Amino acid sequence: MCFIFFNPQEMAVLRALLMTAAKVHVALPMAGISEGEERVRLDLPENLQETALFNRSYRTLQAICCMAREELGYRGAIPIHLLAEQHRFASASILRGMEQHRFASASILRGMEQDLFRYGGSARPEDEGMQLVEAANRRLEVESAAADILRLVRDEGWHYRELGILVRDSEAYGDLARLVFEDYGIPFFEDSKRPSIHHPLAELMRSAIEVVSRDWRYETVFRCLRTGFFPPVREDIDRLENYVLEFGIRGRKRWQQEKPWDWHRRYSLEDGEQVDEDTASTLALIDSLRRQSVEALTELERDLRAADDVRGYTKALYDFLVRLEVPVRLQEWAEIAEREGRLADAAEHRQLWDDSMALFDQLVEVSGAEKMTLSDYEAVLSDGLDALQISLIPPGLDYVTLASFDQNSLDNMRGLYILGADAATMPRRVREQGIFSDADRLHIAETLAACQKEGEEEHTISRGGHEKSFGEKFLLYRGFTEAREYLWISYALADAEGNGLQPSPLVKKMRELFPKAAFLSIPLETVRRNDDLLLAAPRPALSGLANALRGEREHQEMQPCWRDVYNWAMRQKEWQRPLRLALSGLFAHAGDGRIPKELAEQIFAKGTVLRGSVTQFEKFRQCPFAHFAAYGLKLQERREYQFRSMDLGQLLHAVLKEYGGIVKRDYANRWQDVPEEKRAELCEELVNTLAPRLQSEILLSRDNYRHLKKRIEKTAEQAVGHLSAWAAVSAFQPAFFEEAFGHSDDEVHLRPLPLGDGYALSFKGQIDRLDLHECAPYYLILDYKTGHVAINLFEVYYGLRLQLLVYMMVGRELLREKGEKRLPAGILYAFLQNPLLQTRKKYTQAELEKRVNAELRMPGWVLADLDVAKAIDASFGFIKPGLSKVKDEKKKDIIGPDGEPVMDFDANSRKYGYIRKPEEFELMLAYVDYILRDTGRAILGGDISASPYRLKAKKEQTACTYCEYRDVCGFDPDIEGYAYRDIGPEDDDVLEEKMAECTGKEDLLDAIHRGSEESD
């Protein structure tokens, strides 16, 4: 074995050997010139210069000689023998393609060892023994090397054990090499120590201590539970984690409480909501999983709290591992790994327990009685676990060895592959690491030398990065000269992110020294390759086939061999499915987007009735697949403990419902009669009463949420104040709040809509508010919204916004069942907001109120009857329609009998469709009936196509914009068969004609258009 240097401990061993043995031989790599018998000249530039290739070996020789003379009293000349003849490069044969080459003693490998690391040098004639490869990226580089290994083994009769792979950047190539070699079926062994930091046992010990020291934080607890040593299986831990996230469970008190976990999802804020049987069963399971999980951790915490020294902490941790039966579990994992052929993993599982026990012994032996805090013990244990490295033995007799330049056993290999020969790593830039900088080390070395006294042991310090930089050249020299017959050197032109890479300067010098050496360039596109390495293994060959067929389709260019690959794969039963998968991307096409009608009926219909909310049917009109994912597959995003916009809406809806009940009881249903101070008091009281029922008291859980609750109180007060001010100028008064429909116990009983084939559609929902005219037979629908929203006819036509019209239809039926025949006066959105105004000027209080009221004006549709509109809002300050003076033919105001100008709806009211005729409401209600039936038939017909809508006027607005299922559906407009359903605003006249055609209500068009022409 050839040495380069000896550290102080090794020098002490060598000293003992010199004092004991009769003769000691030390082999060092060095340049030398023989000057007769037993005389060797070593004072050569290759040895003496600090940057020289063999300077470190030369300094090691000087240190040994100095020790022999000064410490051991050796007086004679120390014999030095020069081994000048190179015996490694013997003749051998290798077949490349159809040509036979033979390495002679004067091969490229011999020339490389002689000239590559010397200054200068002229071109040499050798052309055998080395392969230079340039690849478009690292993946292609490693795949090409794997293919060449298979060529040598299959075609040349080499053994895997005769081949080695050297990499300079293990982070870039280690994982990639493992994946590629597994694909190519190449047995390999990584000649390196595995760090234990990511092993489940190390993670268990580290996270268990953190659970106790950091008050059972969510992340730490589940890091611990996911190590695989606890009773619950992975699926149960996922279920437990989802529950913890949904209800915001944090801290030791919650995890260890004796009371069962009974937090559950509330669907309303009504007091006394009952838990159904399924929910109770789920809660019992969750609580059982919680208790199984925390039992061992609770005992660990008790033991750690009782301990105060290293011995006590270590014993508590050991008892914890024994309670979890960690040795038994590790043995089970090792046996499973052995059965699956993962011998390295099996050895790791077995070795780590022994290494951990050795670490415990060291901790107790060195610091057993030392007092320290738990956090300090945690740091010491973590450092010890980080330092644990697992040495593995080779898994068999015939394997390729994968190693790094820094430390490896690839000595005198028959064939060697050097990967990643780029400028960034060969030579590698050495960075300063550790406490001392290189300047510090130099100063310390000079100080030690100055303080050295005669007869004392010499003290030295490593020169750190400075020394590593000078040793980099020798490291590369040794790696490039390990092969004795065949050397493969490759580099990539781009990294994983696509950033460009430059070849190493050594590659440039090799091409200058050996211009006739074989050179291969691997392009990114398969269609441009003509080498045989593509067909080395089945799986990569199928991948290459897909690329080749893509090239045939796009460029009408493909090598004939790919037809043979396709025919071969079709004949091999085990490769037919991988072939289809490999080609699926090439011939990707959207599916038919349907499931069998019988299956759809089983999924969506209960018996013969399709039940759903209006929102559900709107979701189908947006995208059938999104509807299928939400209501068929019932996919949901993981719920987390955070306040959402829907929670704000739920709370404010409940506040207004309760407030309306109080006003009806105490103020004769007259909102305008409630004093302002009383409104604020009631809103605060209601929010404080209802907030604890929302998401397991989320608004009381943290300071920021408690502050948010105060803001919600102000928003509720603003909304109530605005609605009260509107009530003062309106002849409509609230009659129903949060009126539910579609359930068996509701006041209104709707007949299901027949769909044919014996099926019917039943819709359900809740009307936020229904107001009645005090004198006339009209009713008004209000829908509360916490965000800005509007309604237009084209969204109704395409089924995207049906709620208000459905509420109008249900309201009519509700009143009819109560014996009242009323006509719709309108449908409005009422904003529950406290608007934030942006302005550069200062407003008076009156101006500010005017701006706020303008922001809160209620959009929607109002009956095109001036008296009804005035009954809704006499001031026309709370609804969108406006008034203007009627002009005669001379553009003068028309004066009425009362002497005041005659008023009518202004132009914007008609232009933007704020007012609608009774015939329009009748037509739209008929169309809602039609679109719901059509939607129900499509759902039961099995339509689950990924066909989202897209607004023509705004290409960026699609059903996919906020869809939570866009990562599931596979929709891609670039793939054949996928396409948006383009919709866009059209004139109301056109849409109403289409609606009349669908519903058979053409007779209504004359009245509608007649009114429009007269207004024009």
Q: Which residues of 545-572 are buried (b: 16+ CB within 10 A; e: fewer)?
A: bbbbbbbeeeeeebbebbeebbebbeee
What per-residue confidence (pLDDT) applies to 128? 81
What per-residue confidence (pLDDT) applies to 673? 94
Residue 438 to residue 443: CA distance in whole angstroms: 9
Residue 118's SS3 state is: coil
Tell me which residue of 253, 275, 254 sits closest to 264, measured CA to CA.
275
Return the HEC string of 267-306. CCCCCCCCCCHHHHHHHHHHHHHHHHHHHHHHHHHHHHHH
Residue 877 to residue 858: CA distance in whole angstroms: 9
Residue 153's SS3 state is: helix
Residue 978 to residue 682: CA distance in whole angstroms: 54
Residue 885 to residue 878: CA distance in whole angstroms: 19
β-sheet bridge partners, residue 827 = 781, 861
Is the Cβ–Cβ distance between 293 and 239 less than 8 Å? Answer: no
What per-residue confidence (pLDDT) applies to 260? 93
Tell me which residue of 852, 842, 723, 714 sits closest to 780, measured CA to CA.
723
Residue 431 to residue 399: CA distance in whole angstroms: 34
β-sheet bridge partners, residue 522 = 135
Is the Cβ–Cβ distance between 418 and 480 less than 8 Å? Answer: yes
What per-residue confidence (pLDDT) applies to 104? 40
What per-residue confidence (pLDDT) applies to 91? 41
Is the Cβ–Cβ distance between 723 and 716 less than 8 Å? Answer: no
Query: Kindly report the CA angle at 284 between 280 and 286, in degrees rounded to 5?
Result: 115
Token pair 């929607």 is at which residue? Answer: 860
Pairing between β-strand 981-983 and β-strand 903-905 as defined by DSSP bridges = unpaired
| Phi-psi map region of 664: left, alpha, beta (phi>0 left; psi -120 to 50 alpha) | alpha
Q: Evaluate the omega torsion of the peptide bond into residue 859 and state whether it is cis, within 30 degrees of 0.
A: no
Residue 756 to residue 761: CA distance in whole angstroms: 10
Tell me which residue of 830, 612, 604 sits closest to 721, measured CA to CA.
830
Residue 558's SS3 state is: coil
pTM score of the predicted model: 0.75
Measured CA to CA in angstroms, residue 290 lies from 249, 256, 261, 498, 859 at distances of 11, 9, 9, 46, 50
Token pair 């009114």 is at which residue? Answer: 1011
One-letter identity of residue 750: L
Look up residue 958 and give its DSSP letter. Answer: B
β-sheet bridge partners, residue 772 = 733, 779
Query: Kindly report the CA angle at 802 between 799 and 807, in degrees rounded to 5?
Result: 160
Residue 485 to residue 644: CA distance in whole angstroms: 68
3-state helix, strand, coil in the chain (%, to 5): 50, 15, 35
Residue 167 to residue 985: CA distance in whole angstroms: 62
Determine the longest span between alpha carbons in the chain, in angstroms.
Answer: 140
Residue 581 to residue 543: CA distance in whole angstroms: 10
Look up residue 880 and give its DSSP letter. Answer: S
Tell me which residue of 731, 968, 969, 719 sits closest to 831, measured CA to CA.
719
CB atoms within 10 A of CB 138: 25
One-letter identity of residue 834: N
Mean pLDDT, the chain cut into blocks of 10 residues (1016 residues total)? 78 87 87 79 83 84 84 78 65 38 53 76 80 91 92 91 90 87 87 79 94 92 94 93 92 92 82 80 94 94 92 94 94 91 83 91 90 90 84 75 80 88 82 60 72 63 61 82 88 88 89 87 76 78 79 74 84 82 75 92 93 94 95 90 90 94 93 93 94 88 91 94 95 94 86 93 94 95 92 92 94 92 95 84 82 90 94 93 84 82 87 92 95 96 94 78 89 87 88 93 84 49
What per-residue confidence (pLDDT) applies to 498? 84
Decide: residue 225, CB within 10 A, 0-12 exposed, 13-18 middle, 19+ buried.
buried
What per-residue confidence (pLDDT) applies to 98? 30
Tell me which residue of 109, 67, 52, 117 sits closest to 86, measured CA to CA.
109
The pair phi, psi for residue 402, each rounded to 5°, is -110, 120
Residue 877 to residue 856: CA distance in whole angstroms: 10
